[in-house]
Structure 1
Amino acid sequence: MEGTWPLLPSAVALALAVGAIVVAGSKLAHVADELADRTGMGEALAGALFLGGVTSLPGIVASATGALEGDAGFALANPVGGVAIQSVWLAIADLVYRRANLEHAAASLENILQALVLLALLSLPVIAYATPELTWGWVHPVTVLIPVLYGYGLVLVRRMRAEPMWEPEATSDTVVDEPDEPSERSLPHLWASLSALAIVVGVTGWVIAKAGLGVAAGTGWSSSVTGFTLTTAISSLPELVTLLAAVRIGALTLGVANIIGGNVFDTLLIAVSDAFYTRGSIYADAGPESLVLLGGTLLITAILAAGLLVRDRRGVGFEGVALPAVYVATAAIAVMVV
């Protein structure tokens, strides 16, 4: 592909991107946790908006870059793969939080609702895959529905927080979302810190996209599989770093909301990819492996939602085993389909 980076510079760029993301991501959890308390939004909603939005920036840039480069499979695999791998991060965090199962301790109605909204959002591209000829210009009508449903989902989450109709049972392992003592940093300073970190994280997204396309071209790997595994694993590192940081400071609901809220936000990247891919229907050009990746990610999301509802008290519940297993199986099947 014209303009693709060579293999060795691509590998070096990916390594540098990892370092930048780890440094920025480790600071995001502290800033978002304090903003959640100072604004009164609560950890679940703040995690979805502040952390979910900022940590998704690498994926946004990577998806848009892939679409502009004309690689439909890579452009779609990035947001779908982001949802999948970020769900696996929760299984890793379960190993770090030894006291109880993380989904049990971070009981939150908002997170459960967001998981259900995510299932609804991921179902829309399935319709688009089946009807690629239904386009307005080059954009499928389903693409327009994705941000609409996302916005309505946020309205429902805010309504649920204001007027909950039922609540999860509190146990000795449940960690309640309570405001911490505010630091000496002013609110404008916190917003400025969040913005600066967002810029750093966003720039790395472009590097990851260019380097990922270079790796795919240099190795002969499928760009869809590369996008689903390698580049999303790197671009989703902010979610992992901030999740572990949130667990370490005891902001469990914030950490889980960062993952689930980030996953919901990542579905907007599908709309971004379709909008920036001007060569026709992105769903028609992505190939059958992209549909396999989407189906596996739907299953992963359903398992995560079940884990939030069942609230297994063991350190690693059924979802902690099933999430990485389904992720690996999905990638393996996609490789066989290519």
Structure 2
Amino acid sequence: MASVEFSDLLVVVGCLAGLVVAADRFLIVGAANLALRLRMSSVLVGVLIVGFGTSAPELVVSVVAILEDQAAGTELAIGNIVGSNVANLTLVLAIPALFWRGGVKFEKGTPPEARSSLVAVCLFGGALLLVHYGHIDASHGPHMWMTGVVLFLCGFLLLTVKKFRSEWGGEVPREVPGLFNAWTRTLVGLIGTVGFAHFLVSGATNIAHDLGWTSGFVGFTLIALGTSLPELVTVLAAARQGRTGLILGNLLGSNLLNSLGVGAVIFFIHGVERFEAPSELPVFTIYGMMAVSAVLLVFLRVISRDRIDSREAVILLLLYGLLLGQMVVSATG
């Protein structure tokens, strides 16, 4: 019977505690103070600072996995991004909506940026499907993908800054710490969150290998959940402190960079010809990621518009459970 090293379990538990402290006491407080000092919308801070910062684990894990483990590393990296996007759009968003009274209410003006983020997820999924079915090859795939990603990211950032520029201005409350203090607190929180996430993923990977799980399964489950922990912890901290503007901003920035930034790096470094048949990551997970994006967009634009309530949170959790269950059946069957 396979056994797990006690040291790996200790690393996982310790890093979980560190993540909570780094995100709750430093990252969220610093980002909120920074928003006030710079007279920004908290959603904009969430997209540019918190969201992009908490996506760093996905980038680091994916690049290291590809460079060190070649084909198996690519399976793990793709599984990581697909699983992380699914977890962000279901678990990370649903948990605070389920436990906080009234659900999670978003600031006015958020849905257009939500569309951009969800479109990014679908673009990444579409690219994977084109590779899977053989419609993209190495002769034109990586460079065109990379160029498109850069253009889309630049366009999104410009539109976001333009949209929220009108919200800048006003008095800065006297009790808000200085700009240097806010930047320092935010930076320390980002470094701590990313660092603890890195060691957490390392310990979880060792445990998975000890148990004999495949790279695609590890990427979609343990690695994705591990690299999504910064998002989950920051979202919970923001909800607890009543700073709900950071919640969707965090997920917008994170999923956008996961799909178009980290996804582009995967294509660029490894080349699409190396994963034409992702046997360890079933194609239904890619369709599932895109379906979750569509469901969430319906929630935001048609059903409740400015909030995710407990009923919608349950639906999101059920969707995640369905995909995870299918992944387990596929990996063990």
TM-score normalised according to structure 2 size? 0.82
Mapping for residues 1-338 of structure 1, pairs under 5 Å? 7-26=5-24, 27-70=26-69, 71-87=73-89, 88-98=91-101, 100-103=102-105, 108-122=110-124, 123-131=126-134, 134-135=137-138, 139=142, 141-162=144-165, 181=173, 183-267=175-259, 268-277=261-270, 281-284=273-276, 286-287=278-279, 289-309=281-301, 310-311=303-304, 316-338=309-331
Equivalent residue letter for 2:34: L
C-alpha contact (below 8 Å) 1:77/1:228 kept by paired residues: yes
- Give unpaired runs (5+ residues) of structure 2: none
Cα deviation 1:23-63 (Å, max 9, x = unaligned): 11112111111212222331112111111011112222122
Change (3 A) 1:144 1:221: farther
Question: 1:16 Cα deviation (Å)?
Answer: 2.4
Distance 1:218 1:111 in 2: 41
Equivalent residue letter for 2:65: G
Q: Percent identity?
A: 23
Cα deviation 1:163-197 (Å, max 9, x = unaligned): 79xxxxxxxxxxxxx98735452212222222222
Equivalent residue letter for 2:53: V
TM-score normalised according to structure 1 size? 0.81
C-alpha contact (below 8 Å) 2:16/2:200 kept by paired residues: no
Change (3 A) 1:7 1:80: farther
Cα deviation 1:106-145 (Å, max 9, x = unaligned): 7623443334433443333333333376225994632442
Question: 1:285 Cα deviation (Å)?
Answer: 5.4
Distance 2:277 2:161 in 1: 37
Equivalent residue letter for 2:103: N
Distance 1:314 1:256 in 2: 10
Equivalent residue letter for 1:62: V
Provide the alpha-carbon RMSD of the alignment: 3.0
C-alpha contact (below 8 Å) 1:132/1:284 kept by paired residues: no
Question: 1:230 Cα deviation (Å)?
Answer: 1.7
Distance 2:327 2:130 in 1: 19
C-alpha contact (below 8 Å) 2:122/2:290 kept by paired residues: no
* Secondary structure of 2:281's aligned partner: helix
C-alpha contact (below 8 Å) 1:67/1:274 kept by paired residues: no
Change (3 A) 1:215 1:38: same
Distance 2:307 2:43 in 1: 23
C-alpha contact (below 8 Å) 1:77/1:227 kept by paired residues: yes
Change (3 A) 1:215 1:313: same
Question: 1:331 Cα deviation (Å)?
Answer: 2.0
Equivalent residue letter for 2:14: L
**Mean CA deviation greater in 265-274 or 128-137:** 128-137
Distance 1:261 1:151 in 2: 13
Question: 1:149 Cα deviation (Å)?
Answer: 1.7
C-alpha contact (below 8 Å) 2:22/2:188 kept by paired residues: no
* Secondary structure of 1:289's aligned partner: coil
